[in-house]
A and B are shown apart, each in its own frame.
Chain A
């Protein structure tokens, strides 16, 4: 009897060990509504096989916690990141390439694959792509006597539109501003360099070029644009901007008539101002070329992940078009049109127009620069100094260049 019992228990333990599912830990920075699609996909993955048990965690301040986890030797198996962070994290040696994932990467749009490649290797599965440009509320354009279906085509036109859309009160204070090129806490100051024909990094040497003549011209234009509305008036007006993800969104409440943003603004519009009709156009470039800045979200496998095989299995599952597309909350599918399910274009009301722009635009990304965070910080600071008039354009950009070069030398 005792022997039988012992054998039974032993059998149970052995079967538990053999048939137990290994855990795949996934960290994302999505919360609330944005978290739901990945949770559903994880549940679907768990139900589809019995080898792995995926667990997804919504982690605030993801970058800092990821660093701490790496330092402690306990990173997740998969992490949600952005194409901007590929080069800094790879430079640190913290992502493993996924060229051998067994996914047909040719189904992704070419520019999307360009974003996730670094030094000839693919460092993550693209899951979401966003495109940036100028958005406006069509009714506001109509009321101002502008064509609601046509945005500014040149930099001069952008200024003209902005002046026309700007409204002051009796005291001369801004009530509605046509366009804010550097929205505090929600800005991409470096994109202006692209639209003035420059680059942030020399493609040949990989060295920063923030003090190039094109960058100087871009920031001089920004300064003169701000000054034309009066810096103090602008500052006071900006002080009243509400949080982006709220009903006080500065664009959706109509305080800014034109807004430079990613296509997630359509998602914010669905939540906070469902009745508004939006218009979109690429941010004009000085040379007349159409350029669109883009960012790509990825899932990457960190070095030190305990379940690399499980992570890869999840990525292969996620790479199926019907799964991948669930994560695209914006208007752009990372997949080529023939791989994108038809419902996507029916449900995303701006998808077609954005796709058409993407075909005619030169898509630009953040440079693959190992010290990108520092570089961005330096550019932001230079933009601040320039706007505030505390430094000249040349001096501020020169200092940014010098500081980043100094860190590179280190």
Chain B
């Protein structure tokens, strides 16, 4: 039986290092600006949460494997080689205190994409058996059960029935040659069925055909959160297979940050070839439809003063920035931006799998102060976002700080403003 070993982790790190990483590690001047960009540092003041410090193991492997001087340094005893204890220690920095939000990558003066490296470092820690238990559990469930939350198809089917009943619309399942294959995160299935309802209403309104696949309903991918590409590949392959089998033109990534990253950007690289279908985020789809004049609203506007929380993987890392703003303008009268928004938005504190890590629960609450102060400064009454995970985490945070603020998914909000059809 195979097991995680330090050697496997070490080798995984070796596999990951490319020219960009080597140039990043070589270029870092220890200016400390990444710390100022990281909410885990700004809210705790703990220097160990400085993003570049979190990459210690990767830097060591690069030095001692891919630089002549580094090899000599180890040989001559000037520097200590990477140990298993190092990897164990870094678990806290690579997983518990990093949501892979990528804000640090925006500020680095030499241009280091730090979060790219965190993602790669996780490969090493995962293969060495130093991934957090919570993430291991989620990943195991994702592979063995089909969803990180343990949601099985019958549960989805039950929700479908429920939605069909409440909307009076039919939810297509496993239909081939439709326009869209709609994915969901199990959070949406279990906690926010409003999303499915919204999709059903919008699709009807714009006249597009769509389906849910019984073989690949789950959009999330614990494999990329834990940092195990082999597992991530397995998970994403389900979607690829289903989409190709059903011959859909476009797969819609739901309101979930890392799912978009997993399918849209990492997916083709994980399976090693381009997809035969398009992948778009639901907000991209909606904005395109708006642009084409197909998505119409009833003209009523939300009165509440509201703001939009950009999910990191969709906005900063995914490139869906303008679309939510275009859509919000259709339905909101008092839309205001947070001081740091769009590409520079602050993370909710629970992305990158952190929401699944029990050990970081307290830390997560501490760093939510950042989002809280952003919201407090704006004095908004409502918060709109496009990621179910952000939503859960922010609900948790607001509860901890006794904040009262309704939160809503953008798709859902749009669905409420569709013109009445008879």
A and B physically associate = no
* Residues in chain B within 8 A of chain A (CB atoms): none
